[in-house]
């Protein structure tokens, strides 16, 4: 197909009329929706810029997901942060825990273990986390570090100069009357090569790099959202069912002759509404189960006019909804990449043995924590290397409590380092 060049990097297909533009960066990969605030072009995070809030509503409206996330984070952050050195010998890396009073005091004063956990929670819940750094007046040290609330963070549009966003906007995005003065603007470090020292105040975006997602990554549990929404409805369904009845249970027949004594048509309509309300309060709700209803028979025109309440037979398999809810636990555990046993989600009749739990935990620690830990420690290592460039050989790691058998250790556990 022939094409006509209209500028240095732009061509038009002669037969299709399609416009082709060639760029040297990732800037053209996407055309995001933006929120305009003055001269700021803020990239929306999900529909109406409210995705993280909607995700939290799904997570904490569910009885399974919070446990999955908390247990997975607890395993990832381990027992505590430690300092160690590596000594490569004969093709092997020998790791040795070291004591450094200065770094130990820094980790304790800055409460870095909790900050590490905050980052991990953000990554599990939202797949994105942002950390702020503030330098001293002479820019020789990082004076403070804090983890932003991920719900408050939004990115600027990617510019041709670099493949990632260069500005972070921090605000309460649920606030309906948000204006320019409510937004804090913070320079972002290059996500691929973060370097401190250029800005008095800056931030680092921590996330897994996913293809086609140059702005916000999706959480690993994204595919379970519809399951979560379905499971979240089931308790509400049963709650309302117990209060008001799952389906029509009774057909109440009231003789029209009985209404005649109440006067005009308007008065009769009012009496109908009153009786319907009274009967509904008597025959519905868990507290009103198996109540006896009394009616009075009166003779009108030689025929018996009586009230009748007829039971409606239903074939509602209520337990099927509960089974659906139980099945969702397996779906959620797969979506969060943690075995249900480690998340405390034992199924009735399928209890795990001690040896199975031991093997599952040790496997998870060995093969499923390395990358999330590396991401979570990225900001902490950045500060350590900036404040103490002469201590780059000292690394920060995680100490785990690894389960073992009683014949190997009388306590059934031992410490391990990663």
Angle between helices 65-77 and 51-60 (to 10 degrees): 100
- Tell me the percentage of the chain whose pLDDT exceeds 90: 33
Residue whose entry in the numeric block shows the structure tokens 């319907």:
276
Kindly tell me if the per-residue pLDDT of 407 is higher than 50.
Answer: no
Q: Note whether 243 and 284 are within 8 A (CB).
A: yes
Segment 130-148 mean pLDDT: 96
404 pLDDT more than 70 = no
Which positions ≥6 away from 341 have C-beta within 8 Å?
352, 356, 357, 360
- Supply the angle between the helices 318-335 and 65-77 in degrees, to the nearest 10: 20
Model confidence at 319, pLDDT cuts 50, 70, 90, reads: low
For the chain, the structural domain boundaries read 1-30, 33-228+359-417, 248-311
From residue 290, how far is each of 58, 282, 386 by CA, in Å? 37, 10, 73
Residue 106: which of 404, 394, 408 has the closest Cα?
394
42/37 Cα distance (integer angstroms): 8
Q: Is the pTM of this model over 0.75?
A: no
3-state secondary structure of 294: coil
User: Average pLDDT of 255-263?
Assistant: 76
Q: Which long-range contacts (CB under 8 A, 24 or more apart) does 360-369 make?
A: 361/75, 361/402, 361/403, 362/402, 362/403, 364/75, 364/338, 364/339, 365/75, 365/78, 365/400, 365/402, 365/416, 365/418, 368/337, 368/338, 369/75, 369/76, 369/78, 369/398, 369/418
Phi, psi of 163 (to 5 degrees): -80, 0
Express each pLDDT in 175-234 by its tens digit. Answer: 766 676 788 999 999 999 999 999 999 999 999 888 788 999 988 877 777 766 766 666
What pLDDT sits at residue 80?
92
Residue 21, beta-bridge partner list: 10
Beta bridge pairs of residue 174: none
223-232 confidence digits (pLDDT tens): 777 766 766 6
Residues 103 and 304: their CA atoms lie apart, in Å, by 94
Q: Is the pLDDT of residue 416 over 60?
A: no
Note the pLDDT of residue 87.
Answer: 82
At 205, is the secondary structure helix, strand, or coil?
strand
What pLDDT digit, counting tens, does each position of 332-377 carry? 666 676 777 676 666 555 545 657 777 777 777 777 888 999 999 9
Closest CA to 384 of 375, 396, 371: 396
**pLDDT at residue 28 in the model:** 46
Q: How confident is the model at residue 27 (pLDDT cuts 50, 70, 90)?
A: very low
């Amino acid at each position: 197909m022939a094409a006509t060049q209209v500028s240095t990097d732009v061509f038009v297909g002669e037969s299709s009329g399609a416009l082709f533009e060639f760029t040297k960066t990732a800037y053209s990969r996407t055309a995001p929706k933006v929120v305009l605030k003055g001269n700021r072009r803020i990239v929306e995070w999900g529909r109406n810029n409210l995705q993280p809030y909607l995700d939290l509503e799904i997570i904490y409206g569910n009885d399974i997901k919070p446990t999955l996330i908390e247990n997975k984070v607890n395993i990832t952050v381990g027992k505590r942060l430690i300092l160690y050195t590596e000594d490569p010998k004969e093709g092997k890396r020998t790791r040795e825990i070291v004591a450094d009073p200065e770094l130990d005091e820094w980790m304790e004063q800055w409460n870095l273990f909790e900050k590490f956990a905050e980052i991990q929670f953000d990554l599990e819940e939202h797949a994105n986390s942002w950390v702020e750094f503030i330098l001293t007046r002479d820019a020789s040290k990082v004076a403070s570090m804090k983890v932003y609330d991920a719900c408050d963070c939004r990115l600027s549009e990617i510019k041709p100069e670099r493949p990632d966003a260069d500005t972070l906007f921090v605000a309460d995005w649920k606030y309906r009357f948000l204006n320019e003065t409510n937004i804090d603007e913070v320079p972002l470090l290059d996500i691929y090569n973060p370097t401190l020292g250029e800005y008095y105040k800056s931030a680092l975006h921590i996330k897994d790099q996913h293809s086609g997602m140059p702005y916000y990554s999706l959480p690993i549990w994204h595919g379970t959202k519809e399951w979560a929404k379905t499971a979240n409805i089931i308790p509400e369904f049963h709650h309302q069912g117990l209060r008001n009845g799952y389906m029509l249970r009774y057909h109440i027949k009231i003789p029209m002759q009985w209404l005649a004594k109440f006067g005009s048509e308007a008065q009769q309509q009012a009496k109908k509404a009153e009786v319907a309300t009274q009967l509904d309060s008597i025959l519905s709700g868990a507290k009103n189960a198996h109540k006896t209803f009394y009616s009075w028979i009166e003779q009108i025109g030689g025929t018996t006019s009586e009230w009748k309440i007829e039971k409606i037979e239903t074939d509602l398999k209520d337990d099927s909804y509960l089974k659906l809810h139980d099945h969702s636990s397996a779906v959620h555990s797969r979506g969060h990449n943690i075995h249900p046993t480690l998340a405390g989600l034992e199924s009735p009749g399928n209890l795990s043995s001690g040896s199975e739990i031991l093997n599952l935990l040790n496997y998870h620690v060995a093969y499923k924590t390395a990358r999330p830990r590396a991401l979570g420690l990225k900001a902490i290592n950045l500060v350590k290397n900036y404040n103490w460039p002469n201590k780059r050989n000292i690394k920060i790691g995680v100490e785990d409590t690894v389960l073992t058998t009683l014949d190997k250790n009388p306590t059934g556990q031992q410490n391990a380092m990663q």
